[in-house]
Amino acid sequence: MLDIPLRDYFRETRVFTSRLAIAIVVVLLMTLALVARLVYLQIINHRHFATLSQENRIHPRPIPPVRGRIFDRNGLVLAENLPVFTLEIIPEQVADMSVLLERLAGIVQLRPRDIENFKKQLRRRPHFESLTLRTHLNDEEAARIAVNRPHLDGVELQARLQRHYPLGGLGVHAIGYVGRINESELRRIDQSAYRGTQHIGKLGVEQRYEDLLLGGVGIEKVETNAHGRALRTMARIAPDAGQNLYLNLDAGLQAIAEKALSGRRGAVIALEPATGNVLVFASMPTYDPNPFVNGIDPDSYRLLLEDPDKPLINRAINGQYAPGSTIKPFLALAAMQAVGFDPSQTVMCPGWFRLPGSRRRFRDWKKFGHKKVDLHEAIVQSCDVFFYTLAVNLGIDYMHDFLSSLGFGARTGIDMIGESKGLVPSREWKRARGEVWYRGETVVTGIGQGPVLITPLQLAVAVNTLANRGTRLKPRMLRSIEDPQTKVLQQIVLERIGEIKVTDTRHWDMLTASMIDVVHGKKGTARRIGWNASYKIAGKTGTAQVINQDETYDEKNTPEHLRDHALFIGFAPAEDPQIAVAVVVENGGHGSSAAAPIARELMDAYLLPREKITASLAQDATND
Amino acid sequence: MTVLQRLHLDKPFFYGVLVLAALSLLILYSASAGEARVAVGQGLRFVAGFAVMLLVAQIPPHQLARWSLHVYLIGLVLLMLVLVVGASGKGAQRWIDLGLFSFQPSEIMKLAIPMALAGYLSRRTLPPQLPVVAVAGALILIPTLLIARQPDLGTAVLVMMAGLCTLFLAGMRWRVIITMLAAIAALIPMVWPYLHDYQKQRILTLFSPEADPLGAGYHIIQSMIAVGSGGLYGKGWLNSSQTHLEYLPESSTDFVFAVFAEEFGLIGILLMFAAYLFVVMRGFAIAFHAQDSYTRLLAGGLTLTFFLYFFVNIGMVTGILPVVGVPLPIISYGGSSLVTLMAAFGILMSIQTHRKILQA
């Protein structure tokens, strides 16, 4: 039998013809659907669309929201919005842009940079949005524009709100600033949320809390005449103002910290032990953020970039330093948790330390040594040999784990963007880099030298943990969020990030006692700031080497930028801590002389009855 | 024999296309705000397009049948090439730059898929059995996915529709058709997360153009205002205020229909629809008279595809379909798709004029 399917041509033709008939019906039905839609648009809703077309002289225009203001904890204004006259152009309504720009240049001052900026905006503009040509027109210029306006199609004079930082550079690294939205930000943001807004938070709190500060854009429908000039507003959906932010920062304390550090490079952090609130967030030198708002001119920017003191660097979270002797209290705590450690054990300090089987001497800062010291005295006098010995006994891996549990080598989680991690070295870390761990590195880790790096903020958070007897809190810039309409405040709650468990709670007492004697003891390295204090300070000095030093190191004859970094950590009052401070002064020399006095000054200002610091500061600002 | 017959041109079809071309020049002159440059440019494209049509019409259908698979394979290779070396415009890779000119390989596929499918199906018994449908499905799906990768979702969907139309005409069983439609409907939620943001935006905009009236919804709102304000009689030629006040974007390309609707109103539109339907019906007639499976399927498939382009464009301009960037066939300004279209008309004419008329 044949198994070849026979083609039934007649059937094929019949199937095709019926399908073709169906196709024709479908085509007709679909055409009918289109016609129905057109009847709906053109006949039934004709009047509606005809009106819209007539009124297409009515432009929807975005109304940018008012950006939320930023205050310090006492309500002092850190960032506000001031009205300025801006010269704006709606490109759709300009017949010949180059002629217009030429004419405008004859009326107001236009720098080449203004025109360049404007053309940049022109390339990525949305429909019918006005673009800023110049800001900060003075009254005379504004008046001249107003007079000439009939001859200037597409030109608008607007009173816009402009970000302003009344305290100038004070706390600039904490507050940050806003600036014009750049290309890469443009790709990242939801553009519909930024219609009419040309600025975005670039650094600090302004950047971190951009979503809260921004607010919601409004729309107004504006009727324009044939030349596109706005005649009247037809409808308006008001924008939602951004949230106001209260920071934990105390501008008065901040000013004291910055003044104490003025002329130097460094950072000061002060925290509130009970909450982790950031009272002071200072990085020196500072710079004035106001010129950045509308784009700083290239020359001034270059000056800032090339400044050898690097003011643009946020040392508080991005400066990474060797902790020096400030690491000792933490290692002391680590030792107390180690099995078999006896705090009363003594070590003989001849002024140097040598690993068994090695000829290399590790020097103590005191040339002829501290003689016999126990843990308490080793902290008080900052005996290096004791901690060399301790480090060797604890081992690098144990030290690494304990320091890590205090938050070193990891971001603190502060509400800022771009925090550095620092570094707590370990054998593991070196192996990952294809290197081997040397015993000598364990030795110097004992005094906070070698590869170990900390940020001033990490140091502050760690000393805060000591003040809290083990409770680790996340450092917080933001204190509360205020709804601009209802004025309802939403408080930010504190956040625990861990707990240092000790085998015996007396360890805290011992450690605090040692740190008190650093400041108040007869042999304490920071006794200079302690003898006349009316409250008890627990602290620790630190001096971190910048260059490898031998016995010929002479501070006076060493160039400034190669001198030691000076550090100090502490909290006060020691028995009931209200403030915890970390100070790093780059190339400051000694922790006791350069860093500790700054901490004392802050503590005095915070703990003693306040002079009207805040008030005098506000006075300064208005006098500017 | 008349001149047209000697040139292998089908008289009704030829005149129908000529009318649409005239409408194109008329409306483009207005859409470009009276700038002759655009209309003249389009006129030159028509000259080139008619030349291509004439050329293709000379090729006898059996020759086309022999080339079907080759054209398809070449198109496939070019599609893969475009993903590797293609130039990108507006974030999508669609073009191959040949120095002198650049073209979109997806255009080739608009012809190659009906050709390949007609070629494949006509060699099997019809209506097609399930395995045959499966192979045909693969022939459609591969280029569709490649085009969707570019990403050019609009063209991908249309190319797929061209293939499905051919399959439908071949007599694919209803239950297979229904299963397929159900599968596509089920796939939509799964594909959604893989769409680009701008594609999602366009589809969402269809449902609520007012959500972002200054941004994504802008095109469609302005287009609907233009169409609706045209009314029954229209505002008259060169009187489209939407266009001349420059509210309407893409007014000479994808949204040219809005200009036409505003200036000529519903009456003008009905006349235009009549011209389109005339061409479509003539295409169906050619398919009906065709003498073998291959030419029948090819003529029917190409005609249905042409209609779909027309439908999708107007659906998009009037706000019932998402904005997918499909031009109005023949009338929209632009070269690449016009040439493809004219080649397709050439094929139809060849099918019509190469019939062996049996003398009684």
Q: Which helix (H) or strand (E) holds A25?
A: helix A9-39
Bridging pattern class, strands A244-247 and A70-71? parallel
Q: Give A481's strand partners.
A: A245, A490
**CA A59 – CA A219 distance, rounded (Å):** 10
Per-domain boundaries in chain B: 63-195
The CATH homologous superfamily to which domain A61-170+218-244 belongs is: Penicillin-binding protein 2a (Domain 2) (3.90.1310.10)
Helix axes of A46-54 and B218-230: crossing angle, nearest 10 degrees = 110
Q: Which helix (H) or strand (E) holds A135?
A: strand A131-137
Give the closest-approach CA distance of A589 to chain B in angstroms: 57
CA distances from A38 to B225, B242, B250 (A): 12, 17, 20
When pLDDT is cut at 50, 70 and 90, the band that residue B6 belongs to is confident
Which pLDDT score, from 0 to 100, does residue B96 have? 61
Which pLDDT score, from 0 to 100, does residue B209 have? 59
Please state whether the peptide bond connecting residue A573 to the residue before it is cis, i.e. omega within 30 degrees of 0.
Answer: yes
Closest listed residue to residue A349, CA positions, set A368, A365, A371? A371
Q: Is any Cβ of chain B less than 8 angstroms from the Cβ of A32?
A: no
A482 in Cβ contact with A245 (< 8 Å): yes
Quickly tell me which residue has 């969402």 as its tokens: B204
* Mean residue pLDDT across chain A: 87
A586 in Cβ contact with A565 (< 8 Å): yes
ipTM value:
0.90
Q: Give A593's strand partners.
A: none
Residue A269 has pLDDT above 80, yes or no: yes
B314 in Cβ contact with B332 (< 8 Å): no
Which pLDDT score, from 0 to 100, does residue B215 have? 56
Residue A360 has pLDDT above 70, yes or no: yes
Residue B238 has pLDDT above 90, yes or no: no
CA distances from A41 to A34, A329, A479, B241 (A): 11, 80, 55, 17
Closest listed residue to residue A329, CA positions, set A379, A373, A400? A379
Residue B92, φ and ψ in degrees, nearest 5:
-130, 145
Please state whether the peptide bond connecting residue B143 to the residue before it is cis, i.e. omega within 30 degrees of 0.
Answer: no
**CA A119 – CA A131 distance, rounded (Å):** 9
Per CB-CB distance under 8 Å, the chain B contacts of A33 are: 320
Per CB-CB distance under 8 Å, the chain A contacts of B320 are: 33, 37
Q: What percent of chain A has pLDDT over 90?
A: 51
Helix axes of A9-39 and B153-170: crossing angle, nearest 10 degrees = 140
When pLDDT is cut at 50, 70 and 90, the band that residue B172 belongs to is confident
A529 in Cβ contact with A553 (< 8 Å): no
Question: Taking the CB of residue B145, how many other CB atoms lie within 10 A of it?
Answer: 12
Average pLDDT over residues A438-452: 91
pLDDT in tens, B314-326: 998 898 888 777 8
Quickly tell me which residue has 């390295």 as its tokens: A525
* Mean residue pLDDT across chain B: 83
pLDDT in tens, A544-560: 887 665 555 666 667 77
Residue B232 and residue A20: Cβ atoms within 8 Å? no
B interface mutation test: which of A19, A191, A227 has the most B CBs within 10 A? A19
pLDDT in tens, B129-171: 888 888 999 999 999 988 888 777 778 888 888 899 999 998 8
Per-domain boundaries in chain A: 61-170+218-244, 251-615
Residue A127 and residue B218: Cβ atoms within 8 Å? yes
**CA A366 – CA A373 distance, rounded (Å):** 13
DSSP codes of every residue in A572-586: ESTTS--EEEEEEEE
**CA B171 – CA B180 distance, rounded (Å):** 14
Closest alpha carbon within chain B to A191: B215
A50: nearest CB among B224, B231, B269? B231
Dump strand ranges (E) for A471-578.
471-473, 478-482, 489-491, 496-499, 538-544, 565-572
When pLDDT is cut at 50, 70 and 90, the band that residue A74 belongs to is very high
Residue A624 has pLDDT above 50, yes or no: no
pLDDT in tens, B73-107: 998 998 888 877 755 544 455 666 554 455 678 88
A404 belongs to the catalytic site? no
Burial of B4 (0-12, 13-18, 19+ CB in 10 A): middle
B214: nearest CB among A39, A41, A126? A126
Question: Taking the CB of residue B84, how many other CB atoms lie within 10 A of it?
Answer: 7
Residue A229 has pLDDT above 70, yes or no: no
Interface A-B: count of C-beta contacts within 8 A: 132
**CA B330 – CA B46 distance, rounded (Å):** 9
- Of A51-65, A169-183, A351-365, B292-306, the poorest mean pLDDT is in A51-65
- Extract the tokens encoding B165: 């139309």
Residue B287 and residue A56: Cβ atoms within 8 Å? no
Per CB-CB distance under 8 Å, the chain B contacts of A19 are: 168-171, 300
Please state whether the peptide bond connecting residue B60 to the residue before it is cis, i.e. omega within 30 degrees of 0.
Answer: no
Which pLDDT score, from 0 to 100, does residue A227 have? 47
Residue A1 has pLDDT above 50, yes or no: no
DSSP codes of every residue in B269-293: HHHHHHHHHHHHHHHHHHHHH-SSH
A interface mutation test: which of B214, B239, B270, B306 has the most A CBs within 10 A? B214
Residue B241 has pLDDT above 90, yes or no: no
Per CB-CB distance under 8 Å, the chain B contacts of A92 are: 246
DSSP letter at A453? Answer: B
CA distances from A281 to A172, A256, A320, A542 (A): 9, 11, 16, 20
Per CB-CB distance under 8 Å, the chain A contacts of B230 are: 42
Give the closest-approach CA distance of B231 to chain A in angstroms: 4
Closest listed residue to residue B238, CA positions, set B257, B212, B259? B259
**CA B163 – CA A605 distance, rounded (Å):** 82
Bridging pattern class, strands A496-499 and A478-482? unpaired
**Cα B145–chain centre separation:** 18
Q: What percent of chain B has pLDDT over 90?
A: 34
Helix and strand numbers, DSSP H then E, in chain A: 23, 23
CATH code for the structural domain at A251-615? 3.40.710.10
pLDDT in tens, B15-51: 999 999 999 999 888 887 666 788 888 899 899 999 9
Closest alpha carbon within chain B to A195: B214
A545 in Cβ contact with A574 (< 8 Å): no
Residue A192 and residue B304: Cβ atoms within 8 Å? no
Residue A15 and residue B304: Cβ atoms within 8 Å? no
Candidates A283, A325, A426, A592; catalytic one: A325
Please state whether the peptide bond connecting residue A62 to the residue before it is cis, i.e. omega within 30 degrees of 0.
Answer: no
Residue A124 has pLDDT above 90, yes or no: no
Q: Is any Cβ of chain B less than 8 angstroms from the Cβ of A276?
A: no
